[in-house]
């Protein structure tokens, strides 16, 4: 399935998917203390049941689960609009959005080499977009 150019709707949906993935990662970070004390005894069936109960009592677990479902729905919507060969590289927007959101909301520091990598990703997405436009001109 081909489309005539990348629409704002598709890019917005991909950015929404990235924001949802950030929410999932944030919820996993909040769940980490629950799993910190889990040792080898959790490998047994009663141990796994206890960990499962502890996780499902956390609202962050449900936020993460809802985020996974929402992300799936967004990706299916995107894939109904454009080819996977275009959508998947555009999914690299998460490598741009996640560090920015992590700096803003989590106070994390991002090293200069990662910013350089992000610049390469932006260049690649730009080239991908330009090659899509060139492909349309040929048709």
Q: What is the pLDDT of residues 55-80, one digit of tens each?
A: 888 888 888 888 888 888 888 888 88
pLDDT at 112 over 90: yes
2 lies in some domain:
no
Residue 115 lies in a domain: yes
| Per-residue pLDDT, 3 | 45
| Per-residue pLDDT at 13 exceeds 70 | yes
More confident of the two residues 30 and 42:
30
For the entire predicted model, the pTM comes to 0.59
H helix or E strand, kind and range, residue 128: helix 112-138
Our count of domains for the chain comes to 1
Whole-Å CA distances, 14 to 1, 90, 93, 101, 122: 18, 7, 8, 15, 14
Residue-number span of the structural domain to which 68 is assigned: 8-138
Examine residue 1 and state whether it is found in any structural domain, yes or no. no
Angle at 88 between CA 1 and CA 66, to 5 degrees: 105
User: What single-letter DSSP state applies at residue 58?
Assistant: S
Query: ∠ CA(55), CA(32), CA(121), 5° rounding?
Result: 115
Question: Range with the lowest mean pLDDT among 5-14, 25-34, 76-85?
Answer: 5-14
């Amino acid at each position: 399935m081909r489309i005539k150019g990348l629409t704002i709707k598709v890019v917005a949906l991909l950015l929404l998917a990235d924001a949802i993935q950030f929410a999932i990662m944030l919820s996993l970070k909040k769940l980490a203390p629950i799993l910190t004390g889990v040792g080898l005894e959790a490998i047994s069936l009663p141990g796994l049941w206890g960990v499962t109960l502890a996780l499902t009592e956390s609202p962050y677990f449900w936020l993460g689960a809802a985020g996974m479902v929402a992300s799936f729905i967004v990706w299916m919507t995107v894939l109904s609009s454009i080819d996977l060969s275009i959508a998947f590289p555009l999914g690299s927007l998460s490598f741009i959005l996640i560090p920015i959101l992590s700096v803003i909301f989590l106070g994390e520091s991002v090293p200069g080499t990662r910013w350089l990598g992000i610049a390469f990703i932006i260049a690649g997405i730009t080239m991908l977009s330009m090659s899509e436009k060139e492909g349309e001109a040929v048709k």
